[in-house]
Amino acid sequence: MGFRTKQVHAGVTPDPTTGAILTPIFQSTTFVQDSVDEYMGKGYSYSRGGNPTVRAFEEKLTALEQGHDTTAYSSGMAATVAVFLGLLQAGDHVVIADVVYGGTYRFADQFLSKFGVDVTFADASDPAAISEVMRPGTRLVFTESPANPTLKVTDLEAVSEIASSAGVLHVTDNTFLTPYFQRPLELGANIVIHSTTKFLDGHNATLGGAVVVDSQELHDRVAFARISAGLIMSPMVAWLTMQGAKTLSERMDRQSASALEIARWLGGHPKVDYVNYPGLPSHPQFELSSRQASGFGAMVCFEVHGGSETGKKLMDSVELWSLAENLGSVESLITHPVTMTHAAIPAEERVKAGITDGLVRLSVGLEDVEDLIDDLDSALSRV
């Protein structure tokens, strides 16, 4: 079954009672049992542990990522936290990419240590750098590719091989490319994390997350963390995200094509110092991106000549682009990572990771690309 067919039909069957083509929203706290002896006979008891609407979305994402099973969460960070809680214990060591979403960095830096977990941040774009920091007590390697916000790319297959040879799990965040463009489990990763808030929803309508795993053992461990910490996705969010996912491929194709056009245009602008987009031959990991993914995504980052102040002026001058946190929506968004999404990362660590004060992050939406370029051109002329 092809990807587009699965994104429409996987996990969804007409309601047996009414014939409704859309999975109903089972807005119920609890589920009545037939008898004590047949407890959980229908598969559900209390919505913190599972819900039919949420389950339908989980089955759809499992099919799209070609995984073993999926658990859905109240946010992307809830999904990440469930992985850490379910797989780590005091005394463990984890390796985390030096460029990840700011919330991931914050939790790893400020909370994992409270539970006795040691964290090492390493340049995940260099497999040798990952190998160098591995220890006997290392339990997992956490990557994000392309990385937020610099779009640095990790060789997922190489890192998976390093982790596997050491008996270590490889966890990767696939939010930016989605399973339409990249399927890390096929490259050897064990766990894939999504902020479903982003491209899977696609409409700035929900907050959610998901974890896709390659084995029943891993599924049981993260599902236990979810029910214990109360991190489950709500039925309404699951229902809305399922509808968004049905058009994922069409949105990703259009948004990515526009992103490439905008990146090329920015690369020739005299007020732009540099542009990072994995689809540009000038990107350091262009060949790797072309090999491990079928598309380059809708995210672009660049630096305006003049640094932070000029970048802020640019973001305050755009009209069609919305200055906001989030990404992956049909609306085009512009973000200043240093003051918004990655403000929790210490300045010296941001600089080492390439998250400069003047960095501008674009999430390209579905508007006419000519209008998006015209708006950027007009804003750049005023800075």
Q: Which residues are catalytic?
A: 48, 101, 173, 198
Distance between CA atoms of residues 277 and 302, nearest Å:
9
| 357: number of Cβ within 10 Å | 17
**Angle between helix 76-87 and helix 102-110 axes, rounded to 10 deg:** 30
